Structure 1
Amino acid sequence: MTSLFFLPRHLMTLLLGLLSAILIAESAWARGLCVEDDKQREVCMAQPAQRIAALSPGATELIYAAGAGEKVVAVVSFSDYPPEAKQVTSVGSHTRLDLERVVSLKPDLVLAWGTGNPSEQIATLERIGLTVYYVEPHDFEDIADNIKDMAILSGTEGAGFKAADDFLAGIQALADRYQSAAPVATFYQVWDEPLMSMNSRHYISKVVTLCGGVNVFADSPRLIPRLNQESVLIKNPEAILAGGMGERNAKWLEKWRAFPELLATQRDNLFFIPPSLIQRPTPRLLDGARIMCEKLDVARQQRG
């Protein structure tokens, strides 16, 4: 057998590199620091993350929920919850990152938004050797899994697993309460210009269903369909719910008052939900779900 000492230098370097990678992976598995992200990629850490970059407001909320907020060294604009996150260094917006700033903060774990961050920028971070975990939850279980995964990667399993379990318990309580509720044809407005909603695969649609609502655009082929006012008029929902451009800005709903033929308008079933509670897939979605369920109950009561 040829001795390793007689291999060419470049082959020796390659072999040692592969051996090192194998040992690191085995060490990660032994420590239980391997998880699967929302792109079904295996993500492993040789030791718990100490410096974390959260590249979406939702990812920021999730990592704080996982109990690792003190380890966050980078966030993006609109990362406003919990309040402590506003004191963390911003590295741009989720749509355009300051890569030089990200790298200078030396994160050992990057939480990337799969469909929100620029793919080429995240690929660059991976190429230079940073560990990336993709966040893209589509239902309640995904949110809980994200929290648990982040807790495993950060070594904060106690806090993270409790937060995830509490969230799912709250969701189950709503499911039990509204499982026999009378259905309400519901239009949830994701955006105003262009007008947008969501199909049945989106987590907000799952909140509608949880509360006994029926998403009138559930069968749309697109996750976030672009609509026009006529399409909403044709669906004639009994309730219209929307967020807005701020936590107290219900301006989007006022436009529907111009259509008295809409059942939702006739019955004054135009309901505002603070967008950060419903449009971020985080534990606070439970608070948004409770509000939505209460609003749909009002719609039921107004049937006369």
Structure 2
Amino acid sequence: MPHPTPGGGRVVRRRFAPRAMIRVIVLVLVAGVASDTHALQASDDRGVTISLGEPAVRIVTLAPHLAEIAFAAGAGAKVAGVSSFSRHPAEAERLPVVASNGRVDIERLIALRPDLVLAWQSGNPPLQIDRLERIGVRVFVTEARSLADIPRIVRRVGALAGSVDVAEASARQFENELADLRKRYSAERRVAVFLEIWHAPALTVNGAHLISDALRLCGGHNVFAAAKMLTPLVSREQILDARPEAIVTGGFGSEALQAWKGLESVPAVRSRRIYAIDPDRLHAQGPHVLEGVRALCERLELARN
């Protein structure tokens, strides 16, 4: 009820106005949205945005190079499980193995309670990734098709792990070393090269593969760059027709080198420009691939002389 004032007026006691209440609710909601904008986000190579409310603390990697990338990104202490053959860095070899040859032990992976799984698009089948996502596992899928993709992936993993500074330092170091190699070999005469990924049957890569990108950096030309498949099988006749000046093999020992005997019509065989490079270095998709790139550039220098 209104009460009289000393001056004869009235004071009206008002309840809390609905509009004022709405304003408060809106402010609370806006504050909530604002806090969400601080969530850790990164888009993977499928174009899927992965969002974490806080930095990942338990990471599982499903390919050897992804363990190396996690460590390079400053998240090594958070890696709870890896795939077989995860050798870089050495600490990765001591971690539990949950995947091998593209197969994932789902039960063992779940037992590790990961809040982030790093997967390889070419090595982990889509159905496998779908299964993990259906049970609530956050999966960040990567695919490096060029050397420049490696530091990009390092940065994104660092963003999700909350180790941006370490990831940035690693990425810049890689990019600086890459720039030095590019500067050194960019003006060299181009050499036609057959990249032998496997020898029986002969398997190579096309121009969209990371190894082909490394070859371009060193001043080489992939004779099967125009192939439609990323990793095509090629016949002996196709290799003869391509007439490579140099052959780079995956380092499969004397058996692979002996296979070229009797093919002296191939310029690389006739001039004995057949070079073996350890696939652990050249075929890697982690930072230590630079060791393989340096070796490749050095072999092409020999081929030019």
Choose from 272, 278, 285 the match for 1:274: 278
The separation in 2 between residues aligned to 1:142 and 1:28, in whole angstroms, is: 28
Pairs within 5 Å for 1:1-304: 27=35, 29-31=37-39, 33-244=40-251, 249=253, 251-301=255-305
Aligned to 2:11: none
Matched AA of 1:235: A
Pair 1:77–1:26, CA change in 2 (3 A): farther
Q: CA deviation at 1:163?
A: 0.9
Contact 1:57/1:76, CA 8 A, preserved across alignment: yes
Q: Deviations over 1:165-212 (max 9, x none)?
A: 111111111111111101111011112233111111111111111111
What is the TM-score of this pair, normalised by structure 1?
0.86
SS of structure 2 residue aligned to 1:60: helix
Provide the aligned length of Structure 1 versus Structure 2. 276
Contact preservation (8 Å) 1:242, 1:273: yes
The aligned amino acid for 1:59 is: L
- Answer whether contact 1:236 1:262 (CA < 8 A) is retained: yes
- Structure 1 residue 94 displacement after superposition: 4.1
Query: 2:20 aligns to what?
Result: none
Distance 1:226 1:87 in 2: 36
Q: How much has 1:28 moved relative to structure 2?
A: 5.2
Please give the alpha-carbon distance, in whole angstroms, between the structure 2 residues aligned to 1:38 and 1:191.
27
Residue 206 to residue 104, structure 1, CA distance change in 2 (3 Å): same
RMSD: 1.8
Q: Which has the higher helix share?
A: 1
1:92-137 deviation per Cα after TM superposition (whole angstroms, max 9, x unaligned): 3142111000001000000011121132222111111111100111
1:243-265 per-residue CA deviation (whole Å, 9 max, x = no partner) reads: 145xxx45423311331222111
Deviates more, 1:236-245 or 1:271-280: 236-245
Give the % identical residues: 37
Partner amino acid, structure 1, of 2:65: G
> 5+ residue gaps in structure 1?
1-19
